[in-house]
Amino acid sequence: MLSTMNSPKNDGVLLVAHGTINDLVELPAFLTQIRHGRAPSNEMVAEMTRRYAAIGGSPLMRITREQANALADTIQMPVLIGMRFGIAPISEALLGAAALRLHRLVILPVAPFSVELYVNETALVYSRLKANGHSLGFELLHVPPWGTHAGLVQAQCEAIISHFIDQIPLDTSIVLTAHSLPLRVIEGGDSYARQIETAASEIERALGRKTILAFQSQGNDGAGWLGPSLIETLDKLANDGAKHATVVPIGFMSEHVETLYDLDHEAKDHAKKLGLEISRVPTLNAGAGLVGVMANLVRECIGRADLAQRAI
C-alpha cells in the first residue's frame, strides 16, 4: 500500500504497523497469525468480534493511510505501508518498493517503543523474499528507537493540554498508558519498559504535573505481565478518594481496538462502577506533531546514510 510523491534520489519510507483486518470474517485467521499459528478458541473469537463490533470496526488502516499521505506530502518521497499481521503485509510493501525501483527504503515503525522488533521482522521478510528469488534491488535503512524523542514528548504534551483547551484542572489525575508486555520479554532484556518509563518522566517534567504510568491490554494467558495494570490504577485512585482521571495512551500512535474498546468501553465502565469519572486524550493519529517527528526521523536517517556513503 503506497502514498507517493516524487523522490529525486529514489528513496522511500516503509511505515510498519501492528496490523488489522478489513472484515470480521477475517478475525479468526488474524488471531491465529498473532498467536503464531495457534488457533483461537471459539470464545476468544466471539469476544473479539464483540469488541470490534462495539467500536464499529478498527480505524487503524485508515489512520495509517492518513499518516502515510501526510508524511509523503511532507518529505516528498513514496511512503508504503506494511502490517505485521492481517491485511497489507510487509512482504507486499517490499515488493511494491522494488516495483518503484527504489534505491533505499527507510523502515519507520509506527511503534516507537518497539522499533527493534519491527525492524528485525521487516529485515527477515526482506531476506526471505530474496531467498525465494525476488530481486528487490534496494537497501534497507531504519530509524532508531524514537519513543523518547523530544518532538514526540512535545506532541503528547500538546495533545494533553489541547484536551483541556488551555489548562489542566488541578483535581484530575493524569494516567499515561501503554500496552503491557509479558514479564518474560522484559526479563529477557527488552528495553520497552525502560523507554516507556523515560517517556513518561519526560512528559511529566514538560507538563509540570505529576502523572501516573499504567499498562493496559494485558493478555489472559496466566503468565506475568508488565504492570501496574490500568484497572489496578483506577482502583487505587478511587480508594484514595480521586473523582476525576484523564487517560493518555502515550504508547499508541493511532486509534484502534485497544484504545477505542479497552479504554473507552472497558476502562470507562469500570471507572463508573468506582464512582470515578474519566476522560481520554485521543491518540496523535495523523496530527502535525507526530508527522513532523516522523519526517525528521526519515531525514536524519537518510542524512546519516549519505554521510556514511561519502566517508567510504
How does pLDDT run across 241-255, given as a tens digit for each residue?
Answer: 999 999 999 999 999
User: Does some domain include residue 63?
Assistant: yes
User: Does some domain include residue 306?
Assistant: yes
What is the residue-wise DSSP string for 258-293?
A: HHHTIIIIIIHHHHHHHT-EEEEPPP-TT-HHHHHH
Q: Report pLDDT for 91.
A: 97
How does pLDDT run across 106-150, given as a tens digit for each residue?
Answer: 999 999 999 999 999 999 999 999 999 999 999 999 999 999 999
For residues 93 and 186, state if they share a domain.
Answer: no
Beta-bridge partner residues of 83? 17, 89
- Tell me: pLDDT of 268 over 80: yes
**Counted domains in the chain:** 2
User: Does some domain include residue 40?
Assistant: no
User: Does some domain include residue 164?
Assistant: yes
For residues 266 and 231, state if they share a domain.
Answer: yes
Confidence band (pLDDT; 50, 70, 90) for 9?
A: low
Closest CA to 257 of 43, 39, 109, 86: 86
Q: Report pLDDT for 222.
A: 65
Confidence band (pLDDT; 50, 70, 90) for 312?
A: low
How does pLDDT run across 76-114, given as a tens digit for each residue?
Answer: 999 999 999 999 999 999 999 999 999 999 999 999 999
Q: What is the CATH number of the domain that holds 8?
A: 3.40.50.1400
- Tell me: pLDDT of 309 over 80: no
Q: Report pLDDT for 4.
A: 47
Strand order in the sheet with 277-280: 211-216, 172-179, 244-248, 277-280
Confidence band (pLDDT; 50, 70, 90) for 43?
A: very high
- Tell me: pLDDT of 223 over 80: no
- Give the domain extent around 131: 2-21+58-145+288-311
In sequence order, what are the residues at sequence separation of 6 or more whose Cβ sits closer than 8 angstroms to the Cβ of residue 59?
A: 254, 255, 256, 260
